[in-house]
Amino acid sequence: MSNKKKALGRGLNNFLKDSKKVEELLQKEGENLKEIPIDEIIPNPNQPRRHFAKETLEELSKSIEEYGILQPLVLRKIDEGYEIIAGERRYRGAKLAGLSTVPGIIMEIDEEESHKVALIENIQREDLDPVEEAMGYQALMKNYNLTQEGLSKVLGKSRSYISNTIRLLKLHPKVLEFLQEGKLSISHGKLLLQLKDQEKQYKKALEIIREGSTIKETTRKLPRKDKKDIFFVDLENRFEQALGTKVYVKHRGKKKKIEIEYYSDEDLERIMEILGVDYE
């Protein structure tokens, strides 16, 4: 077996072990559960979740005022106080509610382990918006040397779902913000990927928001692709199902082409393995 394949195997095994470890740590409360002054708590700079909708935070705040925090924050002790590993949304809701202390589980781990736990915990609980989720997948693949196929096995999500989620990161930065703010749906985002020029994506996104276009209306307004023979449409679909990525069969003109998209070195390795192409 090649060194690259061994590395991929180690990455997957390590991630599986870490996922189980995180589940065990997050379930342990007992003696590590304490009431922590909220002024001593500091957000984690490596927190994968970046966007916190104002309305949902206000709703959470009202719930905390009435029922308190039902699930403790997960924290680690640092020189400046306590850094959040998991539960920043609850922390923000508690601050809005005017709480002076919050329940917290204190974990004795370093910064690298903290980042790992935060990432796994958020993805396992599906607590991220589409953009954060895509960035989380990218980070996991990079940090654990995972392919999209390996990640799909670990998370129990289809390879095409992970591939399509990561593809969203090709959108204009402002369009990604619209997705995070809920101004555009994921389906709108996927449709906008048909426009390769990011400035065109942004302008079309503004138009969709301004006119309140549905998915069906947006599909009609986007430039239509050349009509293809039904045989080649079916062929592209078969390639995509087999390879877990976007495939284009270009059969017009003198030069015929099959184009296969890949999104990272690891993704290329995965496709090579499927096609039986040796690394050496």
For residue 268, give the nearest of 138, 133, 148 by alpha carbon: 148
> 138 near 169, Cβ under 8 Å?
yes
Query: Is 217 annotated in the active site?
Result: no
Catalytic residue among 31, 55, 88, 240: 88
Distance CA(234)–CA(237), nearest Å, equals 5
What are residue 106's DSSP bridge partners? Answer: 75
By annotation, the residues acting in catalysis are 88
